[in-house]
Structures are given as structure tokens and as C-alpha cells.
Structure 1
């Protein structure tokens, strides 16, 4: 089996950046960047770690997700388990676990956390709803995907380290994208890909970084992202509307048509629909790249 490394360059890093420079150098050309000290004036920068979350939210019951492949057994975004936040944090601190929390409205559940952050003045039109939080255990992974709304995302990490692999939308043709979905094939290990099975991955050019506590990753519109929690930790995202009519139109299509069509087909055909989409991901990618296996 031929295995190897993806073609990934380090995401550029800056300590701080002005609004004008951020817009000119990263937002307008749609390039990712890590800003190391963007949120040093937030109370969260000093306060937020797993112990603090345990202190303010330990009694809350939270939905947990693991890394099992998408199947017809569970509805889209249906939790695989539930436990108290205090039990979950104990689990995170004692051993590696695949259990993650994602898209969780902790700030709605614990309003005091809303005082710990503010919307950065970086020239993006942020959606003003309360931000979501994401938690993961050591070695847990979030499979390669892009977001349904084509948002510009500021992703803030807290507690420990997190590896982030990104690909621009132009690389979709090399990533074995699953049709009628926002994901790549879930059986691809982007840290150690099988190039015999997925040869087109060799052509993909992307970015990689390790986020530390308090650092901010800017992910442009429609960027693919794959996250690995190198240690237990958690992150928060702020979202800004797409800047182009093209990407806004794609977001509307995804939200109004694609998601509902996929849910309908899952109900109608069950696992056969999911298996068909996975087969098509390979066939279509190889066809586009003139590969015959």
C-alpha cells in the first residue's frame, strides 16, 4: 500500500494585524492566517480552560458525537450519547476519547460566558447570534468537510493543541467529495492517506497548522477543514456572511435544496443511498482526473 504525506504548507502566522492589512492580505485574496494575539483583551483568553467550563457548566447535560461513519441509523446531527459536562470533562482529562461536542450553544445555557468575548473589529460582517462551541478528546478527529453556509470563519482555540488541515474550494476536485453532501470520503486518513486507493489526493495542495490556547484561525469562504485534537480542548467559532454573490447563492442552494434532498433520499433509500454516494465520490473524482483503476 502506497502511503505518504499530503502536499501541505504551513499557514502563515502573525502576532497581531490591523483591520486594513487583514482585509487586504487575507480576506480579499481568500487566504488563511493564524493570528496569535487577536483576543488577548478577552476575559476568555485568561479564564477559559476545561476547569473553568466545569465550574460554570458542570451540571449541564451535553450531546456527544463520536467518529463513526455517517449511516442511515442516525438522523443528520443526531447525538450518539449524552452525559453531564462534568463527567465529560473528567473523561477528557483522564484518557483519549473519540467523543466530541460540536455546534453547542453553551453561551445560551450559561449566559455569564457571553461577557468573556467580543466580536473583533477586523472588517467582517459577523452573524450576531451566539457563537457555537466545539470540544474534543485527545486524538479525536473532525472529518474533512466544508460549511453549508460558505461563511468566513474565525476559529478560536482554548486549552491544549489542535491540528487544522485546510484546502481551498479549488481543490474540491482532488478530495473525493461525496455528492449531495459537504464532506470528503470519511475513510480517508488525511494524516496518512492511502494513495493506492485514493491516488488523486497526491494532486491536492492545502495548508496545515497547530493551534495553541488563545490563537485564532481565519478560514475563508467554502474552505475544506479537517481537525485533530492533539490534546483535549475546545474551540469557538464566529461566522461572517459570504462576500460574493456566487458563494451566497451556493449557501442558499445548500440550505434550501441540497440538505433537504439528501435527507429525503436517506429516508427513502437508507444505507443504499449513503453507499451509492461514497461509490460516486471515487468514480467522479477519478473521471475528472482521467484515472482508470
Structure 2
């Protein structure tokens, strides 16, 4: 794959952020946005264990999608204190994904500031994500096509992004928000997944306190290089086309997929995975014809 480093700035005005990145839908890392937050000094795994240790949290692992699974249904649950002990003791595939811990532990809301960066952020949805060393978040894009501010804390995390126009190369699973789960995006097999050689994307490593801006509908794949956690703040899409796609995903596509899983079972999942290959290779063939 053709990956280039995401642009980085120390700080930026909201005028420049909107004109240079949001309007152009280009990702950027802002390195010092959180340095005046209490969270910059406080948000370590030990602090989360102390303040939220008794909270029961949902956990996800890397098992393939199954027809019996609900939409974003957790694979197990655990006390936060036990989960953090696990993160610090050894690598684990268990992750916390898209979880509003602030709702359970309101004191965490005092630790961060809503950034005045030109986006109208959804105040009800500060979401947290946790992962152990080498755990991975499958390649996907978000159901609501939001503009996302993704802040990382405690350790280091690698982020790989692809713009929506790269979807034709991503082996996108129909009626879903993911690519084929058996693709190793760290070391893709181009004989099996030849279209990925044409995909052009971005990559960066986020360190403690850094923020990554992910534009509307961007594909993203995350890998925790060390145990750590992140917070996402989001702003609804400004592009009317993306707003309509978000409406379709939330109110039609998701419910259709759940219904088909119920009626067709694993055959529906298998059909979608096979269709992902056929669709992508048809696009690849068409691209080759257009270039010749």
C-alpha cells in the first residue's frame, strides 16, 4: 500500500484548522492541543484504575463477525480494575471500543476541555477506547460519517487512514462498515488481495496527548504499540451527501443487516465476504481497463 505520513502541527488556530484540513478533508495531527488539560498529567492507566476500577466494562476481541452477534455487541465484560491489570501484565486482544465511560464516572468530564477548534462537537458523546500491546482495531469507517478528533493517552498507537474514495480497493464488505477481517493490514498478502497495492492512505504514530483529526467517512485501522487508551470527540458531517449516507447507515443498512443475519444466519456473513472480493476485483479490473 502507498502510505504517507500524516501532516503534523504543534498548535493551530481554528480558522486555519477549518480552512486547511476540515474543508479539504485532510487528516492532521495536532501535538499540543491537550497540554493545558488536567488529563494531560492525570490520564494514565493507574488513574483510570483508581477512579473507575469498580466499573463493569464491555470488552471486544479479534474473533470474526458471526451471525449470532448483535451490532457492536461485546464479547465479554470485566471490572475495569481487572482489565487494566491484564493490560499491564501481558499482551491481550481484549479491547474497550466506543464506550462512554464518562457517563459511568462523571468526574472524568472535569479532566478534559472541549476544544474551540471550529467544529460543533456532540457534547453527549465523548467515547473511550482501550487496548493492550499489539491489539488491533479492524479496518472500518464510522457509521455516522462524523468528523472525529481522536486523542491518545498513555503510550503509543499506530493509526492508518484511507479516504472514502479508496473504498474501491479496500475489500469493503457489503451492508457493513468494515473490510474483510482476514486481511493483515500490517503485512498484506498482495497475491490474495491485489487491489490493496493501489490503495493510497496515511499513517502516523500517536503519542500521549496528541490528537488526530479524521475527516468524514475515513477508513481507519488502529494498532496499540503499547497498552493505552484514546478518546474520540465527534462532529456530525457537514457534507450533505455524507449526512444522507449516515442516515442510511443508521436507520436502514444496520437494521437490514441484522434482519438478514437472523433469517439467513452464517450464509449471509459468508455471502457478504465473498461479495467483497468480487466487487473489489471488478473495480480493480475496471481501473486497469481505464488506464490501458
Give the TM-score range, shorter chain.
over 0.9
Matches within 5 A, 1:172-211: 172-211=167-206
Residue by residue over 1:68-96, the C-alpha shift from the partner in whole angstroms, topping out at 9 and shown as x without a partner, is 11111322222111111111000000100
Q: Does the CA-based 8 Å contact 1:108-1:130 persist in structure 2?
A: no
User: Alpha-carbon deviation of 1:65?
Assistant: 0.6
Alignment-derived partner of residue 3 in structure 1: none
Counterpart check, 1:227 vs 2:222: yes
Partner SS state of residue 35, structure 2: coil
Q: Work out the CA distance in 2 between the residues paired with 1:164 and 1:7.
A: 14
Alignment-derived partner of residue 114 in structure 1: 109
Alignment-derived partner of residue 209 in structure 2: 214
Residue by residue over 1:89-121, the C-alpha shift from the partner in whole angstroms, topping out at 9 and shown as x without a partner, is 000001000000011121111111011112111
Counterpart check, 1:133 vs 2:128: yes
Q: Work out the CA distance in 2 between the residues paired with 1:133 and 1:173.
A: 30
Matches within 5 A, 1:93-172: 93-172=88-167
Q: Which runs of 5+ in 1 are unaligned?
A: 1-5
Matches within 5 A, 1:64-103: 64-103=59-98
Between 166-175 and 283-292, the greater mean CA deviation after superposition: 283-292
Partner SS state of residue 285, structure 2: coil
Between 42-51 and 282-291, the greater mean CA deviation after superposition: 282-291
Q: Does the CA-based 8 Å contact 2:125-2:234 persist in structure 1?
A: no
User: Alpha-carbon deviation of 1:130?
Assistant: 3.7
Q: Work out the CA distance in 2 between the residues paired with 1:206 and 1:290.
A: 21
Q: Work out the CA distance in 2 between the residues paired with 1:178 and 1:59.
A: 37
Which of residues 27, 40, 43 is equivalent to 2:38?
43
Q: CA RMSD in A?
A: 1.0
Which of residues 254, 257, 260 is equivalent to 2:252?
257
Residue by residue over 1:182-237, the C-alpha shift from the partner in whole angstroms, topping out at 9 and shown as x without a partner, is 00000011110000010000000000000000000000000000000000000000
Alignment-derived partner of residue 276 in structure 1: 271
Partner SS state of residue 158, structure 2: strand
TM-score (norm 1): 0.96
Partner SS state of residue 290, structure 1: helix
Partner SS state of residue 227, structure 1: strand
User: Alpha-carbon deviation of 1:51?
Assistant: 0.2
Between 96-105 and 75-84, the greater mean CA deviation after superposition: 75-84
Q: Work out the CA distance in 1 between the residues paired with 2:186 and 2:117.
A: 32
Between 113-122 and 215-224, the greater mean CA deviation after superposition: 113-122
Q: Work out the CA distance in 2 between the residues paired with 1:201 and 1:130.
A: 33
Q: Work out the CA distance in 2 between the residues paired with 1:287 and 1:77.
A: 30
Alignment-derived partner of residue 287 in structure 1: 282
User: Alpha-carbon deviation of 1:142?
Assistant: 0.3
Q: Work out the CA distance in 1 between the residues paired with 2:92 and 2:106.
A: 28
Q: Work out the CA distance in 1 between the residues paired with 2:114 and 2:235.
A: 11
